[in-house]
Structure 1
Amino acid sequence: MTTKILFSSHGLGDIANDEIQNILQKYHLGALIKANKTKNGAMKQTMFVTSTEGVFVIKGNPVYKGQLEEEGFFISELGKRTNLSLPLPYKIDSSLEIFPYPYAIMPLLPGFHFLHIDNYTIEEKKEITTALVNALKEMHSWKVSTYGEWNPITKSLQPFEQSFDQWLHNRVTYWLKDAEKYSTITNEDWDWTSNFLNETLPYLSSLTRPTFVMGDFKPGNCLIDKNDDGWYVSGVFDFTNSYFGDPVADLIKFLTIFIDSNELGVAKHFIQSFYDDREDPYAFKQRLKLHMLQQRVLDWGCAKAMNMVDWEEDISFKAWITKYMNIIDKL
């Protein structure tokens, strides 16, 4: 399922204009004007299509059986449960009549990505982060009784094989082990990680019910815009990594961006806007740090594997991740 598959070389490949026109004709979406692959997107599964009827997104060549159906399920359910702007209708074609793989076509949502944070005033940054939190709270209003993920084959919620805290533990240790292939992970790094997990995982007990988690809430997967009432989230998309767990996990990617940009005031406003004062603040921070570790261990291994330029070379994993933990404590 989506929580197990994070990387893929799948992509749309070469697509002819007549194939795109066949899609548009099949769904009565007008005549093709232009089409181009999206610049972003880790799996290269998407392209923009402009027709006489509007602008659409084609997403295809699933990385696993049921990927599109799973995403379509989340979009459909969120469309019923929230007022968010979502890529609806989300139409799936599994016939293989046009492509040798299933694909989906959906409308392109309005707005733009919250990039280049320096272009905004501090007031705008705080207003935008409040809008981001409001969008998250709408999604997180969807609660279930079981920690797990949606299984598109059985069309049911599939519980994690072990407890939710054990699932998180396994993810962190798996990706730290994977990072050993591309970087030096010392015994001290392992000891710190093991001790940290043992200390923080019990704070998941403060959760009352499993909650929908988008799993990849970041600038690339949401759009913002401004009207007379101010900034708002004008679109949310890409639910390939969604599951049911701890909603705090959805804060991490934006929080990391704010920290790395030295926007600590914005970071503090972001998490304080999300925080429910009915919860113990220390427990909330521990959960936040736990999910920061989960994401950053993956980022560390990915950066080392890709030999990313300007990555910190002369620092241990423990020293690197501890910097983020210390900053969270001060927010």
Structure 2
Amino acid sequence: MTKISVILPVFNEEKYIGKAIESVLNQSLEEFELIVVNDGSTDDTLKIIEGFGDERIKIINQSNQGPGASRNRGLDIVKGEYVMFLDGDDWLCRDALEIAYEEITKNSADISIFQIIKYDGKYSQNSWFNLDNFPESFENRIFNPHECGDFLFDISVSACQKIFKSSFLKRIDAKFPEGTYFEDMPFFFYTFLKADKISIIRRHLYVRRKHEGSITESVDSKFLDTVKAGQILMDIFIENGWYDMYLFDLLAFKINGPRYALMGIEAKYRQRLFELIKMDYCEIKSSQYYGDYLENLGPVKKKFFLDIIKARDYEEFKTLNQMKSSPAQ
């Protein structure tokens, strides 16, 4: 019986992929399959994968389609009772599968969330990946997502930080958005809010490697997709009847993603990101939801929202907004 399917999408990860695969093959729990989706790699990634020659590894080769499509290809063929995700530059701790499996099966949870530790030559922790937003009252029990209403948008969205029941994902037809980065974010909110039973595991089961190529370490062209990801998220909340329930925090979250990106993105992408944000905000202005933004955004986020709509280009926006406000406001 296959207890866990580990889905590993890879694109040009020759430097790190060996450690990622070894961390799965050396797990204390042996009843697993490793589904490696080679997303059109042009370096020696595929050669390294094939070199393991382990029957527990299933390789899918496809043209480059991005992480969302790669994960979906893996989900299409899983045979395990449960699903976990691994990125090609990260690795799992030795007992990760065993601990995650024992926890999620104990109370037949749909999702269990564990801790991540970061590595950049030395190990470090942060409150987000340590699940510090979960009060002690959430430990050692099953809870439903609406108990997390006060801190829902402060939970780590990383798919790699969770183990999912396969039948649950199939029942709700869970899919990652394709053709966009930040695909974890819509997937997290959809699956989390659809779940009936959730638990947390106060153990570090996953190591996230921090390096210059990491998506969260450089604010480059990938961050143009913060706008699209936010639009997908809003559609999910509206279509599933969650919009009114989480209105205040949802709108703040929607504004802050592109806002942070515009503050930090490389200069050559600022005008393009401004244009994408402006198109989005002008659509909101002509929609039934415009009044909700005006009534519920805090002063800094509201000014950002209105200045984007008013400005003709990024330079005019910068003059209007001055970009001096604290991101936390």
TM-score by length of 1: 0.32
